[in-house]
């Protein structure tokens, strides 16, 4: 297969949803269709097995939160699908946000009874900021939920995006019979026994034809006909360009649990969702078809396999072809590094990869050299943009129980901050170490990991700050003056970037008035 074809057949997407909307179930069904797993239940079963083997993940399991955003690859009809699962719990949203920087499109799952929930909204906002195209799947149609028209309206009003249904439900709850495919003009009838859909092509048939009435019964057939007429008359038509610009969400209905409505969705992912897109770097835009390999690290995960105490850096390939054993240039360090043990993940099974292409996500062994946001190239000095570090909202001072262990503590904090698990702020006025997290539960995880992975006992004293802002100014003198005046609140972050800690965001208004030349950012990089 030609190099270009290889890249064009890739789809790299993330699932975004509120917890319990059905992300895990959907993931499993997608893998099932792709033949990556044989049996429903495998993802969950393997996930819990994996958790049981890893201590800090055990902690998260006890809390009932899935924090690993796993990366899965599966084939579907000549396409290579890269699915990045994002943790749904809002406490770990920073990791989730970064995951979204590595994809070209998103699949939003909505529970038909609950509609657009808080976490979905938050995640959608990130997609919208980045203009990521979004497909929506309204799940759990085998249960009673909101009226489909109402759901369409809710998505439009709460998320501010136009919608157009590609499939439309026939009935709901106990009376859920399947979906009508508006583009293909066919009925997909839910077949309980086959666990798959049974297509009834409607070529040359209208919805009021005797065949359709015989299939659905008079009442459902009539309702369907009326609803489709309403949709055809009113809603947005499917304009792929608008979808690709992030302005319009094609909507699918179904039930992940009953494996219903998944095929049209997968078709949508290969026909509508974009192949790997160009990426912005500070220096220039990088096209996926460029022959030279480039990529960036969007996630580092420690101790995926406790037997090896390893760290894996997840890299999104942005252009060209990656080959096992190849040397790559880490731009930040200005040095070449052989990328060890490149791994891809099928469900939760790892396998070594010989080659991978733009769009693919590869896990590489990290001997402690990578940082989130690192650009890898074949020598060119490029810096991919858009992998932000978000301002923490909770802060604590770390205190060592045994002062002789400060070296180990520093090592732990350096590594955990590189991994993105915590942010470290060092006040310019004293020797404190202040930790910042976006979600408060992360303190427990970090404390547990410092103790178990680095053997250091620490206590955390919560501090009354509620925000941090990175500070910038074109005027160096103004910045110096500001830092002097506010020195009790100014810190260096782990990269030496100056930030101010705030007890209340209100204070910013006052500071902006007094020091008009200072700019504030809620991410350490503009998205
Ligand atoms: P999540 O990853 O988004 O958190 O959701 P997950 O797939 O774990 O699904 C949450 C619950 O919703 C599960 O039930 C799951 O079986 C159920 N579910 C998912 N899709 C559908 C659907 O299409 N129809 C119906 N009726 N239920 C669905 P649970 O009882 O919490 O877990 P389990 O014991 O079934 O695993």
**Arithmetic mean of pLDDT over the chain:** 85
Measured CA to CA, the distance from residue 299 to residue 314 in angstroms comes to: 5
Question: Which residue, judged by its Cα, is nearest atom 19 of ligand 1?
Answer: 22
Asked whether residue 281 is marked as a ligand-binding residue, the answer is no
Asked whether residue 412 is marked as a ligand-binding residue, the answer is no
pLDDT of residue 196: 58
276-312 burial, b at 16+ Cβ within 10 Å, e below that, comes to bbebebeeeebbbeeeebbbbbbbbbbbbeeeeebbb
Helices marked H in 101-255? 118-130, 148-159, 210-216, 218-234, 240-244
ipTM: 0.97
Number of other CB atoms surrounding residue 430 within 10 Å: 8
pLDDT (average), residues 194-203? 59
93 with 208, same domain: the answer is: yes
Q: Which atom of ligand 1 is nearest to the CA of 21?
A: 3
Q: Which atom of ligand 1 is nearest to the CA of 260?
A: 23
Task: Extract the tokens encoding 489.
Answer: 């609140």
Q: For the whole model, what pTM was predicted?
A: 0.81
Please name the residue that has the structure tokens 């055809």. 232
Question: Which residue, judged by its Cα, is nearest atom 31 of ligand 1?
Answer: 20
Last residue of a domain, one of 387, 406, 432: 387
Number of other CB atoms surrounding residue 459 within 10 Å: 11
71 with 150, same domain: the answer is: yes
Asked whether residue 19 is marked as a ligand-binding residue, the answer is yes
pLDDT (average), residues 52-68? 42
132 with 199, same domain: the answer is: yes
219 with 310, same domain: the answer is: no
447 with 515, same domain: the answer is: yes
Number of other CB atoms surrounding residue 341 within 10 Å: 15
Asked whether residue 374 is marked as a ligand-binding residue, the answer is no
Question: Which residue, judged by its Cα, is nearest atom 25 of ligand 1?
Answer: 140
Of 118-122, 263-267, 332-336, the least confident: 118-122
350 with 465, same domain: the answer is: no
237 with 301, same domain: the answer is: no
Conformational region of residue 360, where left means phi above 0, alpha means psi within -120 to 50, and beta covers everything else: beta
Measured CA to CA, the distance from residue 10 to residue 4 in angstroms comes to: 10
Query: Given ligand 1 and candidates 14, 20, 41, 107, which is best to mutate, with the most ligand atoms within 8 Å of its CB?
Result: 20
Chain-centroid distance of CA 198 in Å reads 32
Report the C-alpha dihedral over residues 286, 288, 294, 296, rounded to 10 degrees.
80
253 with 294, same domain: the answer is: no
Last residue of a domain, one of 345, 361, 387: 387
Q: Is residue 56 scored above 50 in pLDDT? A: no
Q: Is residue 517 scored above 90 in pLDDT? A: yes
Asked whether residue 430 is marked as a ligand-binding residue, the answer is no
Asked whether residue 139 is marked as a ligand-binding residue, the answer is yes
Beta-ladder partners of 186: 181, 201
Segments of 173-293 assigned E as strands: 178-181, 186-191, 196-201, 248-253, 279-280, 285-286
Q: Which atom of ligand 1 is nearest to the CA of 28?
A: 7
- Whether the CB-CB separation of 133 and 243 falls below 8 Å is answered with yes
Asked whether residue 23 is marked as a ligand-binding residue, the answer is yes
Reported confidence tier of residue 350, pLDDT bands at 50, 70, 90: low
pLDDT (average), residues 162-170? 96
Asked whether residue 91 is marked as a ligand-binding residue, the answer is no
pLDDT (average), residues 403-416? 90
- Whether the CB-CB separation of 53 and 61 falls below 8 Å is answered with no
99 with 140, same domain: the answer is: yes
pLDDT of residue 310: 65
How many whole angstroms from 25 Cα to the centroid of ligand 1?
6
Asked whether residue 157 is marked as a ligand-binding residue, the answer is no
- Whether the CB-CB separation of 433 and 463 falls below 8 Å is answered with no
Question: Which residue, judged by its Cα, is nearest atom 16 of ligand 1?
Answer: 257
How many whole angstroms from 289 Cα to the centroid of ligand 1?
39
Tell me the CA distances in angstroms from 399 to 349, 404, 406, 427, 457, one per residue in order. 39, 12, 10, 15, 9
3-state secondary structure of 95: helix
CATH number at residue 501: 3.30.70.3280
In the chain, the largest separation of any two C-alpha atoms, in whole Å, equals: 84
How many whole angstroms from 144 Cα to the centroid of ligand 1?
14
Q: Which atom of ligand 1 is nearest to the CA of 139?
A: 23
Count the residues in the chain.
527
pLDDT of residue 72: 83
Q: What are phi and psi of 55, to 5 degrees?
A: -65, -50
How many whole angstroms from 312 Cα to the centroid of ligand 1?
29
Asked whether residue 133 is marked as a ligand-binding residue, the answer is no
444 with 518, same domain: the answer is: yes
Helices marked H in 338-454? 406-418, 442-454
Q: Which atom of ligand 1 is nearest to the CA of 25?
A: 7
Q: Is residue 57 scored above 80 in pLDDT? A: no
Range of the domain at 317: 279-387
Question: Cα dihedral sign for 94, 97, 99, 102?
Answer: negative
Query: Given ligand 1 and candidates 21, 22, 87, which is best to mutate, with the most ligand atoms within 8 Å of its CB?
Result: 22
Query: What's the number of domains the chain is made of?
Result: 3
How many whole angstroms from 138 Cα to the centroid of ligand 1?
13
- Whether the CB-CB separation of 373 and 97 falls below 8 Å is answered with no
Q: Which atom of ligand 1 is nearest to the CA of 26?
A: 7
255 with 190, same domain: the answer is: yes
**Pocket of ligand 1, beta carbon within 6 A:** 17, 19-25, 88, 139-140, 142-143, 255-258
Q: Which atom of ligand 1 is nearest to the CA of 27?
A: 7
pLDDT (average), residues 262-279? 96
How many whole angstroms from 216 Cα to the centroid of ligand 1?
27
pLDDT of residue 205: 67
Of 169-178, 238-247, 266-275, the least confident: 169-178
Q: Which atom of ligand 1 is nearest to the CA of 258?
A: 23
pLDDT tens-digit readout, 437-496:
887 878 888 898 898 888 999 999 999 999 999 999 999 999 999 999 999 999 999 888
Q: Is residue 295 scored above 80 in pLDDT? A: yes
Question: Which residue, judged by its Cα, is nearest atom 17 of ligand 1?
Answer: 22
Q: What are phi and psi of 286, to 5 degrees?
A: -110, 125
Measured CA to CA, the distance from residue 426 to residue 429 in angstroms comes to: 9
How many whole angstroms from 463 Cα to the centroid of ligand 1?
38
Asked whether residue 401 is marked as a ligand-binding residue, the answer is no
Question: Which residue, judged by its Cα, is nearest atom 24 of ligand 1?
Answer: 140
Measured CA to CA, the distance from residue 406 to residue 416 in angstroms comes to: 15
Burial of 416 per CB tally in 10 Å (0-12, 13-18, 19+): buried
Measured CA to CA, the distance from residue 326 to residue 378 in angstroms comes to: 9
Q: Which atom of ligand 1 is nearest to the CA of 143?
A: 26
Number of other CB atoms surrounding residue 103 within 10 Å: 29
291 with 428, same domain: the answer is: no
pLDDT of residue 52: 31
Last residue of a domain, one of 271, 297, 332: 271
Reported confidence tier of residue 244, pLDDT bands at 50, 70, 90: very high
Measured CA to CA, the distance from residue 213 to residue 208 in angstroms comes to: 7
CATH number at residue 152: 3.40.50.300
pLDDT of residue 199: 61
Helices marked H in 421-494? 442-454, 476-485
Measured CA to CA, the distance from residue 340 to residue 363 in angstroms comes to: 9
Question: Which residue, judged by its Cα, is nearest atom 4 of ligand 1?
Answer: 20
């Amino acid at each position: 297969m030609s190099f270009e074809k290889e890249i064009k057949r890739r789809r790299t997407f993330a699932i975004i949803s509120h917890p319990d909307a059905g992300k895990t179930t959907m993931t499993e069904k997608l893998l099932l269709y792709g033949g990556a797993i044989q049996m429903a239940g495998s993802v969950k079963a393997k996930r819990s097995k994996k958790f049981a083997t890893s201590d800090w993940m055990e902690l998260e399991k006890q809390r009932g939160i899935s924090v690993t955003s796993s990366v899965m690859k599966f084939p579907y009809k000549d396409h290579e699908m890269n699915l990045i699962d994002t943790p749904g719990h809002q406490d770990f949203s920073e990791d989730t946000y970064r995951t979204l920087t590595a994809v070209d499109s998103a699949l939003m799952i909505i529970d038909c009874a609950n509609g657009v929930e808080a976490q979905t909204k938050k995640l959608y906002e990130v997609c919208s900021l980045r203009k990521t195209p979004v497909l929506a799947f309204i799940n759990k149609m085998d249960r009673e939920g909101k009226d489909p028209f109402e759901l369409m309206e809710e998505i439009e009003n709460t998320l501010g995006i136009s919608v157009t249904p590609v499939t439309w439900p026939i009935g709901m709850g106990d009376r859920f019979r399947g979906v009508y495919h508006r583009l293909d003009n066919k009925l997909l009838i839910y077949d309980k026994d086959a666990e798959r859909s049974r297509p009834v092509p409607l070529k040359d048939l209208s919805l009021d034809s005797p065949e359709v009435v015989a299939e659905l019964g008079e009442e459902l057939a009539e309702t369907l006909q009326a609803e489709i007429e309403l949709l055809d008359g009113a809603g947005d038509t499917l304009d792929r360009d608008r979808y690709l610009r992030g302005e319009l969400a094609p909507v699918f209905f179904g039930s992940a649990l009953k494996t219903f409505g998944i095929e049209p969705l997968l078709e949508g992912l290969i026909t509508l969702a974009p192949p790997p897109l160009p990426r912005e770097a500070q220096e220039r835009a990088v096209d996926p078809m460029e022959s030279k390999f480039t990529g960036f690290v969007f996630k580092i995960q420690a101790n995926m396999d406790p037997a090896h105490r390893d760290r894996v850096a997840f890299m999104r390939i942005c252009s060209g072809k990656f080959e096992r054993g190849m040397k790559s240039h880490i731009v930040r360090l200005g040095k070449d590094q052989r990328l060890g043990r490149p791994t891809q993940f099928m469900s939760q099974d790892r396998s070594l990869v010989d080659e991978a292409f733009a769009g693919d996500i590869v896990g590489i062994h990290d001997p402690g050299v990578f940082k989130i946001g690192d650009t890898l190239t074949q020598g060119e000095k490029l810096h991919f943009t858009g992998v932000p570090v978000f301002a923490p909202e909770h802060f604590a001072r770390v205190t060592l129980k045994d002062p002789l262990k400060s070296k180990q503590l520093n090592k732990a904090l350096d590594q955990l901050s590189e991994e993105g698990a915590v942010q470290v702020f060092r006040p310019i006025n004293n020797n404190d170490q202040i930790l910042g997290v976006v979600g408060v539960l992360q303190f427990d995880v970090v404390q547990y990991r410092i103790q178990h992975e680095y053997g250091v006992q620490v206590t955390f004293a919560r501090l009354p700050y509620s925000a941090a802002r990175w500070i910038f100014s074109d005027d160096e003198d103004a910045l110096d003056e500001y830092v002097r005046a506010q020195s009790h609140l100014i810190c260096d972050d782990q990269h030496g970037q100056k930030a101010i800690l705030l007890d209340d965001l209100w204070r910013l208004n006052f500071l902006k008035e007094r020091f008009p030349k200072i700019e504030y950012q809620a991410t350490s990089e503009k998205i």
